[in-house]
Structure formats: structure tokens, C-alpha cells
Amino acid sequence: MKVYESDKIRNVAIISHGGAGKTSLTEAMLFTAKAINRLGSVDAGTTVTDYDPDETKRQITINTALAPLEWNDHKINILDTPGFFDFIGDVRAALSVVDAAIVPVCAVSGVEVGTENVWGYADQRKLPRLVFVNKLDRENADFESVFEQLRKVFGMSIVALQIPIGKEAGFRGVVDLLKMKALIFNDKGEYQEEEMPGDLEDQVEGYREKLVEAVAESDDELLMKYLEGEQLTEEEVQSGLRKGVLEGKVYPVLCGAATRNYGTKPLLETLITTFPSPTDVSEVEVDTVGGEKKVKLKVDAQGPLAAFVFKTLADPYVGRVNYFRVYSGTLKSDSQIYNASKEKAERVGQLFLMRGKNQIPVDEVVAGDIAAVAKLQVTSTGDTLAEKSNPVISPGIEFPEPVISFAVNAKAKGEEDKIASGLNRFLDEDPTFRVERNAETRQTVISGMGELHLEIIVNRLANKFGVEVELTAPKVPYKETIRGQTQVEGKHKKQSGGRGQYGHVFLKLEPLEGGEGFEFVDQIVGGAVPRQYIPAVEKGILEAMNEGVLAGYPVVGVRVTLYDGSYHTVDSSEMAFKIAAAMAFRKGMEQANPVLLEPIMNVEVTVSEAFMGDIMGDLNGRRGRIQGMEPSGGFQTIKAQVPLAEMFKYAIDLRSMTQGRGLFKMTFSHYEEVPPQDTEKIISAAKAEKE
């Protein structure tokens, strides 16, 4: 593939709800552009961009895949993105490096929740976009109904650029509302231009009027001409359309059936004539290293290098592959560069374009283009590659926080190291995935965007690293404390021939204000416990605090005062005093009204008003306390405090209650006493596990 100048490049993400036909549309565009010689199928697992074994097995897109093609002396970089919420991190990463988006919508299902979500992300980045009403050849396909729904959900900026000719199995072409001609398709992606059918004239007139009106409103001169009743020429409508699309004032709607390759060629033509090139963006804002000031770089192949890494894949054969977009300058194969984010030099080997999993070697990548490189030593997602003499950092990608967690347990003993190694490799690939070793519960906990997300991680762990694990609900990191005061004696005395053991202490236990931490007070006078043994007393108490008397959870929020004791000149030792102190502490815990504490989380749930009652009722049912509500961009954010024990599968329940429209985030707040009825269950469960 030749090197294209920046103004001849189009970077486009395909985004929408799962099942709307993103991958099939990508495949059809590749076939029409002769980038591939046969049309693959999602059902058969033969598409270019769904090449991962998990993708072909499940028939869904899991990873964003790059698919460059050439059309009419232009290069189009397509990013085929996942449609399921579990992989939303990949969608966000793709949207951070493209200049526009195609939004396929199923002509049967209409606008689904995933499409609403990704449309919102595209809004945040102010990306131009068009809608492709797909699957018009299916039974119950209804263009008019879907078009009205699009305008209702996304506003009056939605305008038809094409309307279908024929319904369901009889769908055979479209009326192009710019050319006012019928385009009749064949399955090679070609179309025959004909006069439009007479029976569609009234319908065409209505859609054409809406298009011309929207286009005129994007340009003052065109608006004056339109208001004065003059006809706009095809060229004027086209130039006004491009301007409206670039400014986000017009979102054109095209039609087709991707699996039959209907509508693909007009779509490719529209991408060239209507979508922005990198030079239309003209400048990109970056930070200097240290973030002292912001700098604007021109999108110029001759400028200083700035390339942003938006995705990393751990390939079992090639090693780590970094996908990047060049914003300024030219990156060449076999060159030295500087990772400005990590402040380290990197050696670049062979650069290549990725078409699915296929590598196409290239000598250089110019400003505006997207490519990949393997085997960089320190570079990962979110890093900026630059020149050492001009180090700049692109704004990072805002990835969502994980919403669900499970504990990982090896099915076979002794494989913990292999599990840790494998999980750490996935951290490189996936910024929405987390691994944490919880010291309190002694569990390895993995977190992600949903059950499917973590299920696929576990499958890959088995397939790539040969280690099988099972997922269980994480243990709640309960703690124990006391509510009362007590004074106790601890004596450790042992005589068994030769030197014996003798340690003797008197301790006072009382709760600490705030219920956290530990305080040790030394009130020994007159040498009742010699100085050299006092640290051992404190050590014995700290060790005993690791396991409370109720259910074996760590103890917090206690002040322990050593106020008396005795010793033996021969038999006393540090060990004896340590044992005596631990005995006294355990006895004191039992006497000082011990209680269980549980972690309480700050929870923020963002939903539309229609779901408010259900969400608040559900949070109350989880022993939550509503703290307040505030409006947030057409939605409501409910703030509550809820015990962690009630929140482990909340992500699944929230999606179910809100049809996938609800979002939540959760952070730790504080520890609080467990209600008595729950305390008994926790103690019983702990005893059963110990036995």
C-alpha cells in the first residue's frame, strides 16, 4: 500500500450496539474496495476483523480491529469496534484517534441502548458521524420507523441522504437524495444508476426537503438563497452537507444490507466526499512533559513527531504490538524515538499496517495515519512517541472504572505463579482490567467491565498460558473491634527442666475514637516489666490482632495500655512476654464487647428519571442509605452509601433494571458495625470454612 498524504486519509470508527452489523459492514467495504477477494461471514467466523478465537467462537467483536483500504485515490482506516458494554474500553480508545464515526443501526431492532451509549461518547469528542440503516433485506425491516426513532433519540440534525427502494426481501436499491437518482445494487458492491421510481416521488420530496433545509442552515449564503425560494444545485447541497457534517450540525442517514454488499459503494463515496481528513482538524493540542504548558501541533508530515499509542495486543508469536496514530511528523521504520510519557528511548523496528491480523510492512507512517509496531520495550497504551528534542504528550484516554470483581482460584495446586504471570500480561492489553492481591482476605481479585469480560480473560488464561482457574465471589474484608473496656492479665509460665519461660503482663483494652488503627501505651513504672521486653509485648499484641475472636478477621480501633506485670531474672525472655501479651489480648477482646465491622462504599448511580424509583428501592433493599440526588446531563445521579457485601453483582442487576442504560461508580467510604442478624451468619460461615 502506498503512502498517502494527510488530506487523502480518512480515519473512521464503526460504533453501535452489538449485532447491528459493524463487522459485516467492515467486511463489505474491504471487499468492495478489493482489499480482500471474498466476502467473509460473522456466522462462519471468516471475517477479517473478527479473527480472535473467542470472537469466532462467540460470533461477537471483542477487540477493536484496524482495516485500512484504498478507494478513489484515498486511504480509509476503519476501526471495527466491539458492541457489548463489557468491551467499552476498546470503543473509547478507538474514538480517541479517529476523525469521524459510522453508526450502523439495524432496520429491524432500531436504536438500541448500546448505540445510545456510543453516540454519547462520540458527542463528548465532537466527532462528525453518519448513520447506516443496515439489514434492510430482513423480515420486518422498516426504514421509516427507524428514521423517525433516530430523529426522536438523536434530534432533528438526523437527515436522510438515501431512502430504500423495495422492502424486506424485495430491497434492491436506494434513491440518492443528492443526485435524485435510483441506485440499483448487485452483490459485487456495484450499482446501476436509473431514474427513480414514480411511486416514491411524494416520499422522496419530503425527505429531500428536510435534507436541503438542514444543509442550508449550515451555511449563511445557502440559507439566504433557500429562504428566497431559489433551488440549490447538487454541488451546493454537497458542499453544504460536508460543512454541516464537519461542524456536527448534520448527521446523514444512508441505507443498505451489509451481508449482501448492498449500499457499500455509495457509503465509501460518502466517506471521501463528506467526512473530514486529518488536515480538516488542522491542529492537535498536546502537553509538554511535566504538563507545564499546552502546545498546538499542526497536522503536518514535516513537523515534529507526535504519535499516540491507543491500543496494545499481546501476540503469542510477535510479542507485544502497539497500535498508534501519528498526529504530527513522520515515523520511519528502523529508527530511534523517544517515549515522552515514560521519558525513555525506544528502538523502532519494522512498521506495519494491520488489516485484522494480517501485517502489511511499510517504510513510514505520516501525520494523520494509523499503523502498528511490535516489540517496543517500555511503550504501552496511552503513551506518546516523540522526538527527544521536542517531547510532547497527547491527552490520555479516559477509560471507565471496572464494575465487577471475582476472586481467582487455581484448579490445580502450585500454579499461582503462572496465573500471576498470565494476568499481568492481560493488564498490558486491557486498561479496563485490574488485578489485586488482597492481603486481608489472601485472595487474588480480578475486576472488569462485566461477567463476559472476565470470562474471556479466564478462557485466554487457559488457552495462552495453559492454566485453568475458577471464579468465586470475593470475600468481604470484614474487621473486628471492641465497644467496651476491660483489664486483663496474661501469664505465660513454663518449667520443663533447665531454663524455663516466664512472662507476665496486665493490659487495659479500650476502643479508639474513629474506630481505626491501633495505639500502644506503656505505663510501666518501677521496672515491673523490664524495658527490653516492652517491644515484645507490643509485638505479641499486634500478632494477636491479625485474627479476631469473633470470626478470625483483623482487629482495628483498639488502644492497649500495658500498666503492670512481673518477670523472672532467669526465665523471662522476649518470646515469653510476646506469648503472655497475645494471651491477654485475646482474653480482653472476648470481655470488651467485640463487634464485626464491614466496609461501606460511596455509590453513585446515574440513570434516567424513568428508573429512579426502581433504583432507590433496590439500594434500600441492599441496606443502602440514600445521601442525595443531583441532575447530570439529562439524567439523575443518585448518591448512596451501601455495604460492600451487597454490591458484588450490582453491575449485572443494574443493567437488568435499566435495560443497560444505568451507570455506576463505587469508592470506599468507611467501616461500620454489622447489624446483629448479619453478624451471626458471618461468624457461622467463618467457623464452617475453618472446619
pLDDT of residue 454: 94
Query: pTM (2 decimals)?
Result: 0.86
Plot region of 146 (φ>0 → left; ψ -120 to 50 → alpha; else → beta) = alpha
CB atoms within 10 A of CB 76: 24
- Looking at residue 291, its pLDDT comes to 62
Sequence-separated (6 or more) residues with CB below 8 Å from residue 662: 605, 606, 607, 611, 615, 654, 655
In angstroms, what CA-CA distances link 518 with 338, 538, 581?
48, 11, 15
The alpha carbon dihedral of 294, 300, 306, 309 has a sign of: positive
Q: Are residues 252 and 130 in contact, defined by beta-carbon separation less than 8 angstroms?
A: yes
| Distance between first and last Cα of the chain | 67
Nearest to 281 by CA among 237, 341, 328, 241: 328
E strand or H helix at 207? helix 201-216
Radius of gyration of the chain (CA): 32
Q: What is the pLDDT of residue 497?
A: 63
Q: Give whole-number Cα distances, 483 to 433, 513, 515, 588, 669, in Å.
A: 39, 10, 9, 12, 21
| pLDDT in the model for residue 144 | 96
CB 323 within 8 A of CB 332: no
| Alpha-carbon torsion (528, 532, 535, 538), positive or negative | negative
Cα–Cα nearest to 51, from 469, 359, 352: 359
Close Cβ partners of 186 (under 8 Å, ≥ 6 residues apart): 192
> Where are the alpha helices (H) located in 592-661, listed in sequence order?
612-621, 650-658
Length of the chain in residues, anyone? 691
- Distance in angstroms (rounded) separating the CA atoms of residues 375 and 386: 17
Around Cβ 312, how many Cβ atoms within 10 Å? 23
> 3-state class of 113 per DSSP?
helix
Quote the distance between the C-alpha of residue 639 and its chain's center.
Answer: 22
Domains by residue range for the chain, with CATH:
6-196+249-278 (3.40.50.300), 282-393 (2.40.30.10), 407-472 (3.30.70.870), 480-592 (3.30.230.10), 596-690 (3.30.70.240)
Stretches where the chain sits below pLDDT 70 are 290-293, 315-318, 496-498, 633
> In the structure grid, which three cell numbers stand for residue 165, read together?
427502494
Q: What pLDDT does residue 316 have? A: 61
Give the count of beta carbons closer than 10 Å to the beta carbon of residue 347: 11
What are the residues whose beta carbons fall under 8 Å from the beta carbon of 405, sequence distance 6 or more?
445, 446, 447, 474, 648
The H or E element that residue 365 is part of is: strand 364-366
